[in-house]
Amino acid sequence: MQKTIAPPSIPLVQRISAVLWPAFLCAGAATGVFFTFFDPITLLECEGEPPMSRMGAYTLGFFMFWLLCIASSIGTSYFLGSGTHDPVQPAQTS
């Protein structure tokens, strides 16, 4: 791999964690706040019989928030790159 989007000194496991984990935390908070104010049963009942239980709606809601936050984190990680195609600089060991 010649080009990297994040600064080269960051290990891959850290890069992946840095995208997934804050997104997970934010999605958890967003799910909590959203479903505190909106009961999924009330949201879904305009369509007649609700197509899923509250647990189902919470779960889907959480994963939709998580995907959204992951997308945002990936964007952040991408734009943190320099934008030029300089070869990866060897890290300084001190």
Partner 1 sequence: MDDVTRGQRESGVAVSIDEQVEQSLYAQRERIYPREVHGVFATMRVLAVVVLLGLFYGVLWLHWDGQQLLLFDLPARQFHIFGLTLFPQDFFFLSAILIIGALTLFFFTALAGRLWCGYACPQTVWTEAFLWIERKVEGDRRKQMKLDKSPWTGRKLAIKASKHAIWIIFSLWTGFTFVGYFTPVLDLGSRIVSFDLGAWESFWVLFYGFATYGNAGWMREQVCIYMCPYARFQSAMFDNNTLVISYDTERGEQRGARKRSSDYKGAGLGDCIDCTMCVQVCPTGIDIRDGLQYQCIACAACVDACDRVMDQMGYEKGLIRYTTESALSGEQPKILRPRVIVYAVVLLGLIAAVAYGLATRTPLALDVIRDRNTLFRETNEGLVENVYTLKLINMDDAHHRFNVTATGIDGMQLELDADPVPVSAREVLSISARVKADPYLLKRASSAITFTLRAEDDASLQVEEEARFLGPVVQAQ
Between the alpha carbon of residue 7 and those of residues 19, 20, 41, the distances in Å are 14, 17, 45
Binding mask 50-69 vs partner 1 (x if CB under 8 A, - otherwise)?
Answer: ---xxxx-xx----------
**Part in contact with partner 1 (CB under 8 A); list of ranges 8-16, 65-73, 75-83:** 8-16
Considering only 15-23, 64-72, 74-82, which stretch makes contact with partner 1 by CB under 8 A?
15-23
Plot region of 48 (φ>0 → left; ψ -120 to 50 → alpha; else → beta): left
- Identify which range of 38-46, 66-74, 75-83 contacts partner 1 by CB under 8 A: 38-46
Chain positions contacting partner 1, by CB under 8 A: 1, 4, 8-14, 16-18, 21, 25, 36-37, 39, 42, 46, 53-56, 58-59, 91-94
